[in-house]
Chain A
């Protein structure tokens, strides 16, 4: 059986309720037994006390006071009108000592009554007598019943009281812990952590809070270092490129260059552009790894797709390719980063156009069983089956004929992972490829 995950507070409360329930069941069985034991003991004690009094009276006043020796029927009996108690003295013949307490039935005034009876034999004037003292069972039962009722009420009262007390104590005790947990829960990014210490007297929680704070500070510092590092790398790499580019621009505009020289400079500019894009893409990937992009923008995915197509359709027109669009679920809003998603779709559509020489590129978005997905299909070169696992690795190109630097798809994969979008690839050589993006 799978035990569901519960909060510590709920687990403690559950355990508490369970243990209390166990105690109640135990006592429900135990109390009647205990109460009847107590009431019997109590009754028996009372009977013995009364016996002692009777014996004392007999000793001091003599047996004759109670039994008329001349009477034909030698016996003494006394009972109250409700027949709750009786005392009898009668002669017996046997010599055996009798000293027992037992339940027994007696007929008093033609009525059968259950009694708890103490029978005791004494010897007086060479005769043996049996003294019996009885207490009606109905009286005992009434007492027992009252006792039971009281015990149950008391039990329930105590259990409820302790349960409420325990719960509020657990709640009070764990409040700092819950604060620590909620602090972590509401920290979307290491730089937005709330360093306000949690107010508590529990040393364990103080230690936990302090440890989390120091860890968070370390993470934040590492994050900031990384961000600064990326920013510096970016500056260090792109500034020289910028210098060269400006110099090339000036050469191009200043002098009267021959067409061949102009061509050379233009080629150099193209190479610089390639370098710039490479650096930018690598930096973008590093920034994604460092989680610098916020993922809380409400992005209308279909709109982004339309923008991408608007931006890219020139390329398709230049290659005489048709771009087919079939966008469904137009109100699908995704929490993510607008710019990154644009880059993602742009890369996929751009790739589809680049590797397709004839036919069309198709963009389909749909929502099925609560699963929003985008499919980008082309009728292009396709990818060999054994190459598919490698296409998302950096600097590996599935298509040997076209020179590309294999970062586009690696970046796309990173953006997908960052947004928890799953990518599936289906491809057949010379028939085309499909990239399917499954949104979370």
Chain B
């Protein structure tokens, strides 16, 4: 999987690269629109992460250009300008997703994975643990042959934990993923715990393994 990161802020670009390289992605960096434009015209990319606020280039023009050479590439637009107008325009031009700065690297990864699952193969779409299987394509969860009903939020929570198994997910990441970025101002609220409790209860009906570990004060980890 080859990804181009177009981000004028070098420090941020290298952090994203560092994180994604570990996830076995092939990463190219472009710090200017000019560089990006050159790279796009010669290399085939699967993903292009584009900061729309480039100093030397109109990010939206870059999408148009890239669509010419790299019609197969998927776009995730990153912006710190937060203009709704650009958001809409970005989607019109064929951006597949949109992330406002600051975002967590895990959220970026999960967006990439979601698009990949949606557009590519189906083999990876069913994740099995114990007797459970989670079909991320059909958004369906079952134990052996018996289907388990989850609410929308419970499903989102469980699949996020499962997809990032063996990794500590802090409360912020979980809220950001499930509730989006609301203009929130209280973070110590334990409402995520309510959902965790319900999910655990539903899992425990079939299996006694403690799949979801609590990391005290921070969040949760799905161990498998």
Contact = CB atoms under 8 A, between A and B. Distances in A.
Contacts of A272: 102
Interface in A234-268: 234-235, 237-239, 241-247, 249-250, 252-254, 259, 262-263, 266
The residue among A270, A284, A407 with the most chain B CB atoms within 10 A of its own CB is A270
Interface in A44-98: none
Nearest to B85: A292
Given A259-B216, A270-B172, A405 B185 contact: yes
Contacts of B101: 238-239, 241-242
A237 B216 CA distance: 31
Given A239-B12, A259-B216, A411-B183, A314 B105 contact: no
Contacts of B195: 314
Interface stretch (B15-23, B116-124, B135-143): B15-23
Interface string B65-98: 0000000000000001111100000000000000
Interface string A94-124: 0000000000000000000000000000000
Interface stretch (A217-225, A273-281, A364-372, A427-435): A273-281
Interface string B182-224: 1111110111111100000000000000000001111100000
Contact of A262 (B15, B105, B168, B194): B168
B102 A276 contact: yes
Interface residues of B, number: 46
A408 interface: yes
B12 A242 contact: yes
Given A262-B218, A405-B185, A242 B102 contact: yes
A318 B191 contact: yes
B191 A253 contact: no
A283 B82 contact: yes
Interface residues of A, number: 49
B2 interface: no
B81 A235 contact: yes
A346 interface: yes
Nearest to B103: A242
Nearest to B79: A235
A212 to B, nearest CB: 27
Interface in B5-47: 9, 11-12, 15-16, 18-19, 22
B194 A274 contact: no
A250 B218 CA distance: 16
B195 to A, nearest CB: 7
A20 interface: no
B170 A266 contact: yes
18 contacts: A231-B53, A231-B83, A234-B81, A238-B100, A238-B101, A239-B101, A241-B101, A246-B105, A266-B170, A270-B187, A273-B172, A273-B187, A277-B184, A280-B181, A314-B194, A318-B190, A318-B193, A343-B183
Give 5 nearest A-B pairs by CB, closest first: A242-B102, A246-B15, A318-B191, A238-B80, A242-B101
Interface of B: 9, 11-12, 15-16, 18-19, 22, 53, 80-84, 100-106, 153, 167-168, 170, 172, 179, 181-187, 189-195, 215-219
